Structure formats: C-alpha cells, structure tokens
Amino acid sequence: MNLADYDVLSFDCYGTLIDWESGIGDVLGAWAADAGSPMSEDELLAAYAPNEAQAQQDSPSMLYPDILADAFGRTGDALGIPVTPDWSGRLAGSVPDWPAFPDSADALASLAEHYKLVILSNVHRAGFAGSNRRLGVEFDAIVTAEDVHAYKPADNHFDALDAILDDFGVPKSRLLHVAQSLFHDHVPARRHGLASVWIDRRHDRPGWGATPEPNGDYGFAMQFPSMAEFADAARGAHGNA
C-alpha cells in the first residue's frame, strides 16, 4: 500500500481519536467502587461492550446519550449492581468530557495537508461537536448515528459515505478508512470494499475493551499502534518525512 494513492481518509472517532474507554471507564469504575465491587476497568468495559452493541441494534434511532444509559442499565442488571438514574445520567452526559488521545490533534492537522477528512461516528451531533473541539480540525464531512438513524456495524454510515464521495468527485478506490474497532468499522469496511488501516490503540493491553469481538469478515492493509505513527507514515509517503 502507498498512502499517497488516497485522497480521502474516513475515520472512526471514539476509540481511534477520542479515548472513549477512559471516558466510559471513569464512570463505570466510580460506580463499581461506590457499590464495593472489586472489578477492574478492563473487566467493567468487557461487561459493558456487548450491552452497548445490543442497545444500538435494538434501538437504532435512539440518540447516543440514551444508548449509554440503556447499556449501563443492562450492564448493571448483568452484574447484579443497581444503576440509579444519577449514575446513568452521568454516563449519558459524559461524551463531551471524554479526552482525545494525546496524538490525535497533531496527527489530524498533519493529515489534513494531504487528504480530505471525514468522520463516521456512532454518537450524536452535539456529542461529536464537543469532541471536535478537542481535536482542533475542520472535517470535510461528518456522519453521526443521529444523521443516519443507525449504529455501526450497520451499513448506514458507509452508504452515506458513498454519497459523500460522489459529492467530492472521488472514486471509492481513493478512500482509506482509518479505525480502531474491528467490530464497528473494519467488518463493514470489508463489506463495502474499502481499503482500511487499523489503529490498534489496545496493542499493549489484552482483550477487546469497550469493543465487542468482531463477528464477521474483516481485514486491513496496514496496522499502526497510534495516530502519530500513521501520520508519520503518510508524511513519508508524500515525501515530507
């Protein structure tokens, strides 16, 4: 793969650019500690992950704060720990507070010199707007779950991406999808015939974290442990190493 052969980069945001595991884990950890549970953050995230995915599948038009609250309640039921309205509200309202990974803003600024940048996000518009202030770049197009009334790995985001490429006048072969989640992004990217890059944020941690294990065919052309290393490779491909 030559990274200079692409004109558009589409990104997953949460898990790739924004550290959603820290954001969710902070609330789950405080809740579990308040209940006297000894579960670790990774154990809590592993318990939470399938419940968020199921809530999204069950209610594809539900706004993401309500998905968070629903998934939190399901997780509490599974673990036998009550989730009060106060706790569910804390998680539901936490998206704008989730931190960006330290390398995201600089990497995006560098990549914007060579590519159009598109977001395919599983959150709502207001939540992404809060996150975007942390990322510090102007994306050329933004697709949220609120816009397409569905959550990845459903096809809706990627169908919308096809229309964006038409507006850009860019063929699909000149788009590269960049994402951490094999489950949410690389499986549907494969279905849609897109080349993709895996930003393996959990390369130094076991398990799947807040993301379910992938349950379909997936693949990726390149793999990087961080956005910084991906941006460095892109600069090198464009002769700016």
- The catalytic residues are 12
- Give CA–CA dist 122/88, Å, rounded: 19
SS3 14: strand
Closest CA to 174 of 8, 11, 12: 8
Q: What is the DSSP string of 201-228?
A: TTTTS-S-TTSPPP-S----SEEESSHH
- Give CA–CA dist 33/8, Å, rounded: 44
- Give CA–CA dist 117/158, Å, rounded: 15
